[in-house]
């Protein structure tokens, strides 16, 4: 019996001391994979790291959206391929779920990704750098707000907003009407504006962004008031500069997609009623498009390619004085102040000389309300060419100015195809990944503009 006692006592003692094994397995904060150590995140410097991540993700979104919007609308045409690149052509209007929509999911995912990262950076900056980093905190507010605007501009009404909390809490979100997104954006911009930042570009970003959301809600006069303090000068604007050596959005997507084969080119009047980007007389060409011609192989036609994004290390302007003036012009237009409206339009055209040295002639009042709307949105299109704004504007023309979709979106036989027509989708599709995996969400409320 004594032997048995001895034999089993030692194992028992070892077993009850099992708790000490925890000390053996403690990795002492050793980094796991490419993860940042948690204690680094939960600090002033960590909050700034997360903020930088939000900026990086916002740039990824902008890089992607500028390319996608251009293709979906009339800004660019793409070399016909079997790739589902020209969604406007290939996606049947009746199809809610089809295999091509995955192509557009990237923008959706990127917008949410930047939104969540900006939200987390705001929380960290407020906790660990309160009052010390107002410029970047305001910028984080602006990023989260712009993601809300981007989703409302480009997608259907009723997008879901899920919440992810570091540490394991995930709350699947329900769908919200489009206007809710604009409203939330305004609230976020206001939070940033309250910080009274000393960075002029960030203040411009906040003010123009808020005005953009107000305009989308039809609150034109309020929008004009918000941007009244924004200067004309480009230096007052906020632009995201891309660098091929940067990590996340390595290059502007349009450039990477087609730089070596002229895959994307300026398509004059895409479909039946696309905008006439190119003048019949090259000398009269609107230099804001900055077209260059890429020769094809010997004996074949040349491509009018946009010079605006001629390399991956270009920049995308998110907000500047020109847009502020156009927002004011739209307010004048809706206040039935055509003279003031025209003055703002021509101010923007003259402003372009300051920016590029190219003098654009003043334009004249078309004389009709419809003509003024056309002219306003044409000016917006040229000013904001390849910045991912065109889809939102076309939808606003339908929603706020009673235009028929087929009068603003490309229609008719698709270029390069003898059998395919441009489709009638006015919004980017939401991927199956959302509808299949979000138990709180089933579908868009409204696919109309």
Partner 1 sequence: MEVSFRNIVVIAGVMMLGVSNSSLLSAQAVKDSSRNGKIGPQNESLTKGSSRDQRLVSSESRDGESKRQDKPGQSNSQDKSGQPNSQKAVKGSPNALVSLQVKDSTIGYIAQALAKQAGVKLVYKLDNNELKKRVSVNVASKPLMEALGSVLRGTSLSAKIATDGETVMLRSEKGDNRQDTTVKGAISGRIIDSATGKGIPGALVTAVGTSASYMTDANGLFYLTRLPGGKYTVNARIIGYKSESQTVTIGNGEDKTISIVLVPSASVLSEVVTTAVGQQKRLEVGNDIVKVKADELLSKTPARSVSEMLRYAHIPGVQVTPTSGEPGAPSRIRMRGIGSMSQSSDPAIIVDGVWISSDMSSERIQNQTGSGLATPDNTTGGNNPATRQRYASSSIDAIDPTTIESIEVIRGPSAATLYGQEAANGVIVITTKKGKPGKAEWGYQYSRDWNTQPTTRHGNWVVYGRYPMSNQEFECNVDRYASNLCVQDSIINLNSRRGLGDGEGPGREQKHAFSVRGGSNSMTYSFNAVKEGILGSERALPSYRIRMQNLNMPLGEDMIKPSYKDKTSLNSVIGFNPTPLLQFTFNLNGTVDDNRQNGTSMRYDKSSIDTQYYKVAHMLEIDEMEAGTKSWNIVSAVSGSFRPTPMWSIQSQLGLQKITRNDRSKTDKRTCAQSQCVGTETQLRSASLNEDIYTSRLSVGAMPSTRLDKFISFQPSVGVDVRSRIIDDNSLASNATFGSTSINSGFGSTSGMKSVTAGWYINTGVKLLNRLYFDLGVRQDVGSAIKVADAGRYPKLSTSWVVSEEGFFPKNNWISTVRLRGAMGHAAVHPEIADIDGGYTYIRYPFDGVSQPTALLKTIGNNKLVPERSVELEGGIDIYGFSDRLTLSYTLASKKTRNSIVQRVLPPSGGLPATSRKENIGRVANTSAEFSLSVRPIQNDNVSIELGMSMSNINNVIKKLNADASLSSNLSTARLEEGYQIASVWMRPVLGYNDMNGDGFITSNEILRGDTTVYMGWSMPELTSSYFGTVSLLQNSISISADVGYKGKHVQTLTYLDNWGLNSLTSTLDEQAFSLAYLYTGVPLETSEIRLNSASISYTIPRQLLGRFHARMVRVSLMGSNLGLWTDYKGRDPLVNSSPVGNALSDNGYVIPIPRKYALQFKLDF
Per CB under 8 A, contacts with partner 1 among 118-157 are: 120
Q: How near is the Cβ of 444 to partner 1 at its closest, in Å?
A: 12
Q: Are 141 and 206 in contact (CB under 8 A)?
A: yes
Site stretch for partner 1 (CB under 8 A), options 166-174, 218-226, 360-368, 393-401? 166-174
| Rounded Cα distance, 325 and 176, in Å | 31
> 76 vs 163, 289, 348, 377, 385, CA distance in Å?
35, 11, 23, 17, 10
Q: How near is the Cβ of 54 to partner 1 at its closest, in Å?
A: 9
Binding partner 1 (rule: CB under 8 A), the pick from 160, 201, 314, 423 is 160
Beta-bridge partners for 163:
171
How many chain residues touch partner 1 (CB under 8 A)? 95
| Rounded Cα distance, 184 and 187, in Å | 5
**Does 18 help bind partner 1 (rule: CB under 8 A)?**
yes
**Does 43 help bind partner 1 (rule: CB under 8 A)?**
no
Residues 275-314 that bind partner 1 (CB under 8 A): 296-301, 303
**Does 97 help bind partner 1 (rule: CB under 8 A)?**
no
Degrees (nearest 5) of the Cα angle 162, 399, 383?
90
Q: How near is the Cβ of 65 to partner 1 at its closest, in Å?
A: 15
Site stretch for partner 1 (CB under 8 A), options 4-12, 179-187, 203-211, 364-372? 4-12
**Does 39 help bind partner 1 (rule: CB under 8 A)?**
no
| Rounded Cα distance, 397 and 449, in Å | 9
Q: Which is nearer to partner 1, 120 or 215 (CB)?
A: 120
| Rounded Cα distance, 427 and 435, in Å | 16
- CA torsion sign for 73, 74, 76, 81 is positive
Binding partner 1 (rule: CB under 8 A), the pick from 72, 103, 104, 108 is 108
**Does 161 help bind partner 1 (rule: CB under 8 A)?**
yes
Question: How many CB atoms are located within 10 Å of the residue 128 CB?
Answer: 18
Site stretch for partner 1 (CB under 8 A), options 78-86, 223-231, 380-388, 401-409? 78-86
| Rounded Cα distance, 74 and 78, in Å | 11
Q: How near is the Cβ of 225 to partner 1 at its closest, in Å?
A: 32
Q: Are 59 and 249 in contact (CB under 8 A)?
A: yes
Q: Give the distance between the most distant pair of CA atoms in the chain.
A: 111
Q: Are 58 and 248 in contact (CB under 8 A)?
A: no
**Does 248 help bind partner 1 (rule: CB under 8 A)?**
yes
Q: Which is nearer to partner 1, 78 or 326 (CB)?
A: 78
- CA torsion sign for 240, 242, 243, 248 is positive
Residues 194-223 that bind partner 1 (CB under 8 A): none
Site stretch for partner 1 (CB under 8 A), options 167-175, 189-197, 277-285, 366-374? 167-175
**Does 159 help bind partner 1 (rule: CB under 8 A)?**
yes
**Does 178 help bind partner 1 (rule: CB under 8 A)?**
no
Q: Which is nearer to partner 1, 116 or 391 (CB)?
A: 116
Residues 55-74 that bind partner 1 (CB under 8 A): 55-57
Backbone φ/ψ region at 296: left (φ over 0), alpha (ψ -120 to 50), beta: beta
**Does 27 help bind partner 1 (rule: CB under 8 A)?**
yes
**Does 40 help bind partner 1 (rule: CB under 8 A)?**
yes
196-214 residues labelled b (16+ CB within 10 A) or e (exposed) = ebeeebbbbbbbbbbbbbb
Q: Which is nearer to partner 1, 381 or 429 (CB)?
A: 429
239 φ/ψ angles, rounded to the nearest 5 degrees:
-130, 145
Residues 335-374 that bind partner 1 (CB under 8 A): none
144 φ/ψ angles, rounded to the nearest 5 degrees:
-60, -40
**Does 269 help bind partner 1 (rule: CB under 8 A)?**
no
98 φ/ψ angles, rounded to the nearest 5 degrees:
-145, 165
Q: Which of 180, 175, 189, 190 is nearest to 217 (CA)?
A: 180
**Does 441 help bind partner 1 (rule: CB under 8 A)?**
yes
Q: How near is the Cβ of 293 to partner 1 at its closest, in Å?
A: 12
Q: How near is the Cβ of 79 to partner 1 at its closest, in Å?
A: 6
**Does 38 help bind partner 1 (rule: CB under 8 A)?**
yes
Site stretch for partner 1 (CB under 8 A), options 52-60, 196-204, 340-348, 395-403? 52-60
| Rounded Cα distance, 54 and 56, in Å | 5
Q: Which is nearer to partner 1, 52 or 399 (CB)?
A: 52
Q: How near is the Cβ of 236 to partner 1 at its closest, in Å?
A: 18
Q: Which is nearer to partner 1, 55 or 326 (CB)?
A: 55
C-alpha of 179 from chain center: 17
């Amino acid at each position: 019996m004594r032997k048995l006692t001895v034999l089993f006592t030692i194992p028992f003692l070892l077993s009850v001391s099992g708790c000490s094994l925890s000390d053996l397995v403690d990795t002492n904060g050793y980094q796991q994979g490419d993860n940042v150590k948690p204690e680094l995140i939960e600090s002033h410097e960590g909050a700034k790291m997360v903020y930088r991540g939000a900026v990086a993700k916002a740039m990824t979104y902008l890089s992607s959206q500028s390319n996608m919007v251009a293709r979906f609308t009339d800004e660019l045409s793409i070399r016909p391929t079997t790739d589902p690149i020209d969604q406007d052509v290939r996606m049947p209007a009746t199809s809610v779920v089809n295999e091509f929509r995955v192509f557009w999911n990237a923008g959706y995912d990127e917008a949410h990704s930047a939104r969540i990262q900006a939200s987390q950076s705001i929380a960290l900056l407020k906790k660990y750098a309160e009052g010390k980093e107002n410029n970047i905190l305001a910028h984080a507010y602006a990023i989260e707000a712009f993601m809300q605007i981007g989703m409302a501009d480009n997608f259907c009404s009723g997008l879901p907003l899920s919440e992810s909390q570091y540490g394991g809490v995930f709350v699947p979100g329900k769908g919200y009407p489009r206007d809710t997104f604009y409203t939330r954006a305004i609230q976020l911009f206001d939070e940033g504006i309250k910080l009274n930042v000393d960075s002029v570009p960030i203040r411009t970003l906040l003010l123009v962004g808020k005005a953009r959301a107000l305009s989308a809600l039809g609150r034109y006069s309020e929008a004009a008031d918000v941007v009244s303090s924004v200067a004309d000068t480009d230096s007052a604007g906020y632009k995201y500069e891309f660098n091929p050596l940067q990590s996340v959005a390595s290059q502007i997507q349009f450039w990477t997609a087609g730089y070596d084969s002229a895959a994307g080119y300026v398509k004059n009047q895409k479909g039946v009623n696309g905008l006439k980007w190119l003048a019949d007389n090259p000398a009269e060409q609107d230099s804001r498009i900055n077209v260059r011609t890429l020769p094809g192989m010997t004996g074949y036609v040349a491509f009018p390619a946009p010079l605006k994004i001629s390399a991956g290390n270009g920049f995308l302007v998110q907000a500047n004085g020109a847009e502020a003036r156009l927002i004011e012009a739209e307010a004048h237009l809706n206040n039935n102040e055509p003279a003031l409206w025209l003055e703002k339009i021509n101010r923007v055209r003259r402003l372009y000389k300051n920016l590029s040295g190219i003098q654009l002639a003043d334009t004249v009042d078309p004389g009709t309300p419809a003509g003024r709307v056309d002219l306003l949105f044409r000016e917006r299109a040229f000013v904001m060419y390849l910045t991912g704004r065109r889809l939102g504007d076309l939808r606003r023309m339908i929603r706020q100015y009673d235009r028929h979709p087929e009068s603003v979106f490309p229609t008719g036989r698709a270029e390069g195809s003898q059998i395919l027509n441009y489709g009638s989708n006015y919004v980017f599709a939401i991927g199956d990944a959302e509808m299949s995996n979000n138990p709180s969400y089933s579908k868009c409320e409204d696919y109309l503009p």
